[in-house]
Amino acid sequence: MLKLIPLILSAAAALTACAVSPTGRQQFIFMTDDQMSQLGLQAFDNLKREKPVSNNAKFQQISQCVAQALTAQTGGRWEVVVFDDATPNAFALPGNKIGVHTGMLQIIDNQDQLAAVVGHEIGHVIARHSNERASQEVAVNQGLALIQAVSAPQSALGQTAVGLLGLGAQYGVLMPYSRLHESEADIIGVDLMAKAGFDPKQSIALWQKMSQLSQGQQPVEFLSTHPSNSTRIGQLEAHMPTALQYYQQAQSLGRQPGCTQ
CB atoms within 10 A of CB 16: 18
Instruction: Check pLDDT > 60 for residue 7.
Output: no
In angstroms and rounded to an integer, the radius of gyration of the C-alpha atoms of the chain is 18
Confidence at 45, pLDDT banded by 50, 70, 90: very high
Residue 166 has phi, psi (to 5 degrees) of 75, 55
| Most confidently predicted of 13-17, 40-44, 136-140, 161-165 | 40-44
Instruction: Check pLDDT > 80 for residue 122.
Output: yes
CA distance 85 to 92: 16
Q: Looking at the annotation, which residues are catalytic? A: 121
Closest to 104 in 3D by CA, of 236, 227, 193, 223: 223
Q: In the predicted model, what is the mean pLDDT of residues 207-230?
A: 62
The pLDDT, as a whole number, for residue 77 is 92
The pLDDT, as a whole number, for residue 177 is 62
Q: In the predicted model, what is the mean pLDDT of residues 51-71?
A: 96
CA distance 194 to 171: 30
| Most confidently predicted of 78-92, 120-134, 154-168 | 78-92
Instruction: Check pLDDT > 90 for residue 227.
Output: no
Q: In the predicted model, what is the mean pLDDT of residues 33-44?
A: 88
Residues with Cβ within 8 Å of residue 216, at least 6 apart in sequence: none
* Phi-psi category of residue 158: left, alpha or beta, with phi > 0 → left and psi -120 to 50 → alpha: alpha
CA distance 72 to 250: 12
CA distance 37 to 58: 29
The pLDDT, as a whole number, for residue 147 is 52
Instruction: Check pLDDT > 60 for residue 245.
Output: yes
The pLDDT, as a whole number, for residue 32 is 84
The pLDDT, as a whole number, for residue 141 is 55
Greatest Cα-to-Cα distance within the chain, rounded to the nearest angstrom: 59
